[in-house]
Structure 1
Amino acid sequence: MSGHSKWNNIKRKKEATDAAKGKIFTKIGREIMVCVKESGPDPNSNSKLRDLIAKAKANNVPNDNIDRVIKKAAGGDDKNSYESMVYEGYGPNGVAVIVECLTDNKNRTAGDVRHYFDKFGGNLGTSGCVSFMFSQKGVVILENTGLDEDTVMEDCMDCGGDDFSFDEDTVEITCAPSDLHALREGLTAKGYKVLSAEVEQIPSTYTTLTDEDQIKKMNLLLENLEDHDDVQNVYHNWEMPEE
């Protein structure tokens, strides 16, 4: 198995933005609400909800908060109607950017997203303008606490993983999006600590930035997008320099 080492270089860690600013609870809660309204409140029959609960727990969301959000959505007490929106555009020097949102006001969200692109040296494009450069893959991140690489590779293959990369702190495994739940469950059953398990947009080509002004603007674009309450995920093909 070959690794997606470049993806490790460009994937922004949400802990540095969302969690530090106390927004991660709100964003996951919104995902849970939409999921419950679409497919029901029982995680035993709603595998996506099961994955979201695991995601919430991995981000240290208290169980009481999770239960409260599920009950609120199931009982119809939440009057907000969130709609999924995807925006595509270009950052400085043509860096491809995909922005996934859950919003109760499309006009507000679209205006804010467009403003960020314009302000930081990019431009918002039309649907499909950059998504062809990405493919959806399930991505599972394991905590690496002195794991044996050969054993991990064998277990990943047994559980449905397609590819993996091994580094000092984590192991990143990719799979078909439809296999994500089974892969996470299988690795958890084998005793691995799963840090995250999500369907991601993985770029097929990458763009580098060397101009300091462009690097600054790209960082500001990503930070402002990720800090927005309506934005759930931001994907890009900027090959970020190693820290």
Structure 2
Amino acid sequence: MAGHNKWSKVKHIKARVDVVRGKVFSKCAHEIAIAARDGGGDPTMNPRLRAAIDNAKAVSMPKDKIERAVKKGTGELGGEAIQEATYEGYGPEGIAFLIEAATDNLNRTAADMRSIFTKGGGSVAEPGSVAYQFDRKGEIRIAAEGVEEDPIMEAAITAGADDVQMEEDEHVILTDPTQLAAVADSLREQGFEPKTQKLVSLPQNPIEVDELGRARQVMNLYDKLDDHADVIHVFTNFDVTDEVLAQLED
């Protein structure tokens, strides 16, 4: 089946670094709070919250931080309510960016997004002008170690997945967004424990950048957006050639 683009590999290298830095805890907390706000604080009755908590546990987020994030979402801690927001924009080379955020101050976050795009050589776009270039999917990641490709593919198809892809040390299973929880549960029942499960936006037509300087410029914008405290996910249609990828990893 189809393979992920090379930029996906770069993103997950960065994600592992973020885990070491502890920055990923903030993103997990936002996801947990939003899930608890929308579906209640009981993970057994709220599939989105259960997935968010599982993802947090997968990166060793402390139990007290998880519980605090749940209470923040349900309003037990008081303070300003967390709201979801999506921002769209274009970076250098016309690269599309779709940003998912959770914030208690929409005006502040919107101003920050405009500033980051402007300083990064891009611009914020009108709602809807970027999102249509991405497909919404459920994504489940399972460690490849000790898991052969044929068994996981058979299990994923049985579970109702749309696609199975391979990335170095992980099997990536894609689903209809409405079937994410059901497919993940089926995989667990078949003996395959997901590392993460979440909704993602995948580019329909990745734009390949074959020059190192331009690639670094786009990556810098991605990093600035991804590092913002209110940002949960950054999706982009940026891709790189093998030669540029090798230089980026040096």
Asked if 2 retains the 8 angstrom alpha-carbon contact of 1:10 and 1:240, the reply is no
Q: Does 1:110 align with 2:110?
A: yes
Q: Secondary structure at the match of 1:208?
A: strand
Deviation at 1:16, TM superposition (A): 4.2
Residues 229-238 or 146-155, more deviating: 146-155
Deviation at 1:214, TM superposition (A): 2.0
Match of 2:2 in 1: 3
Question: Aligned equivalents of 1:54 and 1:9: distance in 2?
Answer: 22
> How many corresponding residue pairs?
242
Residues 74-83 or 102-111, more deviating: 74-83
Decide whether aligned partners of structure 1 residues 175 and 27 sit closer, same or farther in structure 2, where only a CA change above 3 A counts.
same
Question: Aligned equivalents of 2:111 and 2:90: distance in 1?
Answer: 16
Alignment of 1:74-153 (within 5 A): 74=74, 76-153=76-153
Question: Aligned equivalents of 2:220 and 2:189: distance in 1?
Answer: 40
Matched AA of 1:56: A
Question: Aligned equivalents of 2:4 and 2:226: distance in 1?
Answer: 23
TM-score (norm 2): 0.89
Alignment of 1:170-209 (within 5 A): 170-209=170-209
Decide whether aligned partners of structure 1 residues 105 and 72 sit closer, same or farther in structure 2, where only a CA change above 3 A counts.
closer
Deviation at 1:41, TM superposition (A): 1.0
Decide whether aligned partners of structure 1 residues 73 and 129 sit closer, same or farther in structure 2, where only a CA change above 3 A counts.
closer
Alignment of 1:59-70 (within 5 A): 59-70=59-70
Alignment root-mean-square deviation, CA: 1.9
Deviation at 1:148, TM superposition (A): 2.1
Deviation at 1:221, TM superposition (A): 0.5
Asked if 2 retains the 8 angstrom alpha-carbon contact of 1:135 and 1:204, the reply is yes
Question: Aligned equivalents of 2:167 and 2:181: distance in 1?
Answer: 23
Asked if 1 retains the 8 angstrom alpha-carbon contact of 2:102 and 2:232, the reply is yes
Question: Aligned equivalents of 2:175 and 2:10: distance in 1?
Answer: 17
Matched AA of 2:147: L
Match of 2:160 in 1: 160
Asked if 1 retains the 8 angstrom alpha-carbon contact of 2:205 and 2:237, the reply is yes
Match of 2:238 in 1: 238
Asked if 2 retains the 8 angstrom alpha-carbon contact of 1:141 and 1:194, the reply is yes
- 1:58-79 per-residue CA deviation (whole Å, 9 max, x = no partner) reads 1111223222332454462131
Question: Aligned equivalents of 2:118 and 2:7: distance in 1?
Answer: 28
Deviation at 1:200, TM superposition (A): 0.3
Deviation at 1:17, TM superposition (A): 5.1
Percent identical pairs in the alignment equals 32
Question: Aligned equivalents of 1:128 and 1:11: distance in 2?
Answer: 26
